[in-house]
Amino acid sequence: MSYYVIGVGGTGAKCIESFIHLCAAGLMPDSKSLFCLFVDPDGSNGSLKRAGELLQTYHDCKQLQLGATDLFKSGVRIAQPDIWSPLQDKPARLDEFFNYNILEPAAAHLFDVLYSPREKQTSLEYGFRGHPSIGSAVMASAVKLGGEEPWASLRNQISLDVGTGEGAKVILFGSIFGGTGASGVPTISRLVSNEFKSSKLRQDRFKIGSVLMLPYFSFDPVKSERLRVDADTFLLSTQSALNYYHSQHELKVCNAVYLLGSETLKPMRTSSIGGQGQENEPHLLEMYAALAALNFFGQESVEGYPLVARELQSKTRWSDLPYDSGFADLKKRINQLARFSFAYLSSYYPMLESINDTGRGYRAPWYINFFSRRGVDLKDSITKELKQLKSYCESFLLWLANIEQSQTGDNVDEGGHLINFNAFATTTTDENGKPTVVLRDPNDFSLSHYGNLLLPITANYPKGLSELWETMSDIRIKDPKADGVGRFVRALYDACGKVKAEDS
């Protein structure tokens, strides 16, 4: 089975971000490759940019020769171009996009009925401004599966998978309280589905699902903009969208639809109509979205209307998170990747940098075993693979911290929900006085918390990192496919799973 993930809009991109982290932790059902595509009219959107960079980092890390391991298990194929905009090389105003001035009178009048003058004339450079009516028209007109890239490649690849019997599963992420996701998800679902569900055989080999995000965050309105997304209308927009999807059977093409929402809207740090300023921090609900995608990919077919909800109103616990092989497995894998990232950033990368600068490799027996004796060029790899891995580990820990912060908020005294993020991150205030989570300098990581990165803490492992160092000094990797820097990374990841820690 081949897997395809399409993130529509800023929220869709953030869901892909969570999904990539879960893939890095080895939570995909198998190691088959994943095709990723972002759809957004606002290519400079900060959240999209962050997700795109993460995808590229994952792709780079996947080049490491790790052998058979869960770490970075899934291969990724990034669409070319990775971000597709329906407004690419086209006018960024609705009236110009549809050549309003030269429309026949009847069509022009219909256009006038459907869109207000403000809607017709506002620049769509930063997206559809929370207006799905604009997005639907633009999307339906612009997406051509047989035409431009990346749609042509997507279609050819799915055709190949379906034709050879490999099978293909496509999932779309998007919000339904904004403009891009609400219009893009049903439109793209329908277009892709129509292409591949024409015969019974194809129906068996092709499945499509959607993850639709109901309101879960809010932000202050951008007062300078006349046509804008307004968090106050999120619920109303959602209700309208759901009613519309229901009455028009918009989502009937999907084999599975996941709807996720939260009764409390988390205020986002930034308020922006789009562009780089629209970089919203990750949220727990996006992790749920990624878990929904894993459920879709992992199940032969999703039947009925599965419901998940957390047990306690005031607290999210690991046991609340849905994962096919059980929450304990999910927690264990996230924990292993968290410990790996923590150890790599706090100890292993700094030591490798120090050896690169001053020599004295004898200080780190694992360096002698995995670099020196195997002829791995540290000078070269510290600027390439090891740096890319550092970048990934930073993204992962920051993502984890934000996931926790999205639940804890500023009430750190509550005891937290899922992640003991104070061990590696801290909450500060940005220039606008809003709380923001930043990664600590690795020198300031709370090293004694290495074994207690996830909550709840039931026992302390104050020397966990020291034990890891000892394990790393002796560890042997028998996998012949693990080679070069990948062999060291594999060893560290395996060792992180061996050393005693919370839930190991």
Please classify residue 456 by burial: count the beta carbons closer than 10 Å to its beta carbon, then call 0-12 exposed, 13-18 middle and 19+ buried.
Answer: middle
500 scored as a contact of another protein (CB under 8 A): no
474 scored as a contact of another protein (CB under 8 A): yes
Query: Which residues lie below 8 Å from residue 164, measured CB to CB, with a gap of 6+?
Result: none
348 scored as a contact of another protein (CB under 8 A): yes
Beta bridge partners of 83: 38
422 scored as a contact of another protein (CB under 8 A): no
CA atoms within 13 A on the CB side of 204: 6
504 scored as a contact of another protein (CB under 8 A): no
What tokens appear for 161 in the block?
A: 């998978």
Ranges of H-type helices in 93-225: 94-97, 105-114, 117-121, 132-142, 151-163, 180-196, 200-205
Please tell me whether residue 68 adopts helix, strand or coil conformation. Answer: coil
Binding segment toward another protein, per CB under 8 A, in 141-149, 319-327, 389-397, 468-476: 468-476
- Write down the least CB distance from residue 165 to another protein, Å: 46
User: Could you check whether the bond before residue 442 is cis, i.e. omega within 30 degrees of 0?
Assistant: no
| Residue whose CB is less far from another protein, 247 or 443 | 443
Nearest CA to 156 out of 167, 166, 145, 165 is that of 145
**Whole-angstrom Cα Rg for the chain:** 24
Binding segment toward another protein, per CB under 8 A, in 186-194, 239-247, 341-349, 397-405: 341-349
363 scored as a contact of another protein (CB under 8 A): yes
Task: Please identify which residue in 140, 253, 265, 351 interacts with another protein, judged by CB under 8 A.
Answer: 351
Total of chain residues touching another protein, rule CB under 8 A:
26
362 scored as a contact of another protein (CB under 8 A): yes
User: Could you check whether the bond before residue 117 is cis, i.e. omega within 30 degrees of 0?
Assistant: no
463 scored as a contact of another protein (CB under 8 A): yes
Binding segment toward another protein, per CB under 8 A, in 184-192, 247-255, 386-394, 457-465: 457-465
235 scored as a contact of another protein (CB under 8 A): no
Binding segment toward another protein, per CB under 8 A, in 223-231, 381-389, 419-427, 464-472: 464-472
Q: What are the E-state strand segments in 214-304? A: 217-218, 256-260, 266-267
Touching another protein, residues 434-453 (CB under 8 A)? 447-448, 450
360 scored as a contact of another protein (CB under 8 A): yes
Q: Which residues here bind another protein, judged by CB under 8 A?
A: 346-348, 350-351, 354, 360-365, 368, 372, 447-448, 450, 462-466, 469-470, 473-474
